């Protein structure tokens, strides 16, 4: 059985020397983490004097880049599978659970939908249903997992939803949002879907940019949780371990919580 625990990382971090003056740390992370981890990285830079170069994108594509030799010291994925694949290949480890997320519906202002009617609206032939790209982006994989749960509630739902779902983001061929725009706000503002399944944290950021968008909570029977995994790649400098510890520390976990993530490193009240 795999063990992913904060103390293991803490021991590794405490065993290394001062971080000041070390090389730049390369952080590769899921796009849904951009706002939160940019703040954590900024806090780390202020504390350590070490700069952080961050790249954000679909976790599956980022993992493929790392496997292909792209520079990376710390990898923060929107699932546990991608960093564990790197660990199994001998490219890094251990893998630590550092945040959780869940899916929400992001709906156009004029769409008549509630949490109770979400499945019916998704199944309607008139509803254009958007998702991210399964295989390339864990958000798409989680949407397909939700479709599987829908089958238990309405026989035939899984096949129908998989057939009608439009993977609009997170794939190698997906149209990128303009610089500075939230991907999901941009997709919805341009009318490319009536309802989009994405992380709740993404939905909150999209609504901040386009306030008329609706956020629809997924009912418990369809709810899908997303576990986020963190690993340090082999050959990374000591400063990379310190950045990982910053993400896992109470201060880093508090930042993640501010952006809507469930932060498992924070004490329960």
CATH of residue 187's domain is 3.40.190.10
Q: Is residue 266 part of a domain?
A: no
Q: Both 70 and 16 in a single domain? A: yes
Q: Are strands 195-199 and 129-132 parallel, antiparallel or unpaired?
A: parallel
Residues 83 and 162 in one domain: no
- Does one domain contain both 108 and 87? no
Per-residue model confidence (pLDDT) at position 269 = 56
Which residues, listed in sequence order, are joined to residue 107 by a DSSP beta bridge? 195, 214
Q: Which stretches of the chain drop beneath a pLDDT of 50?
A: 1-21
Residue 219's φ and ψ, nearest 5 degrees, are -65, 155
Give the range of the structural domain holding residue 123, as residue numbers without chain letter.
101-222
Which pLDDT value is given to residue 208? 94
Tens-place pLDDT, residues 132-148: 999 999 999 999 999 99
Q: What is the model's pLDDT at position 22?
A: 57
3 state DSSP class of 102? strand
Question: Is 83 in the same domain as 166?
Answer: no
Chain Cα centroid distance, residue 72? 17
Beta strand spans in the chain (E): 25-30, 52-57, 74-77, 96-107, 129-132, 166-169, 195-199, 214-217, 225-232
- Dump strand ranges (E) for 58-95: 74-77
Q: Are residues 85 and 127 both part of a single domain?
A: no
Give the pTM.
0.80
Same domain, 115 and 178: yes
């Amino acid at each position: 059985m795999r063990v992913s625990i904060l103390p293991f990382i803490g021991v590794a971090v405490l065993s290394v020397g001062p971080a000041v003056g070390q090389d730049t740390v390369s952080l590769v992370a899921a796009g849904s983490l951009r706002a939160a981890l940019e703040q954590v990285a900024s806090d780390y830079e202020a504390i350590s004097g070490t700069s952080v170069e961050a790249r954000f994108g679909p976790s599956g594509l980022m993992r493929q880049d790392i496997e292909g030799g792209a520079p990376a010291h710390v990898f923060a994925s929107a699932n546990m599978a991608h960093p564990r694949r790197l660990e199994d290949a001998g490219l890094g480890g251990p893998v630590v659970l550092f945040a959780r997320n869940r899916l929400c519906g992001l709906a156009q202002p004029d769409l008549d939908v509630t949490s109770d009617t979400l499945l019916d609206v998704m199944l309607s032939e008139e509803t254009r249903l958007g998702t991210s790209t399964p295989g390339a982006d864990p958000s798409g994989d989680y949407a397909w997992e939700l479709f599987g749960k829908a089958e238990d509630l309405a026989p035939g739902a899984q096949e129908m939803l998989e057939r009608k779902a439009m993977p609009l983001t997170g794939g190698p061929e997906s149209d990128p949002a303009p610089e500075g725009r939230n991907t999901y706000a941009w997709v919805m503002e341009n009318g490319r879907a009536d309802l989009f399944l994405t992380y709740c944290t993404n939905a909150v950021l999209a609504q901040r940019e386009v306030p008329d968008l609706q956020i629809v909570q997924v009912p418990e029977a369809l709810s899908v949780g997303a576990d986020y995994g963190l690993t340090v790649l082999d050959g990374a400098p000591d400063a990379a371990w310190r950045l990982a510890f910053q993400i896992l520390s109470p201060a880093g976990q508090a930042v993640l919580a501010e952006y809507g993530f469930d932060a498992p490193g924070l004490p329960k009240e």
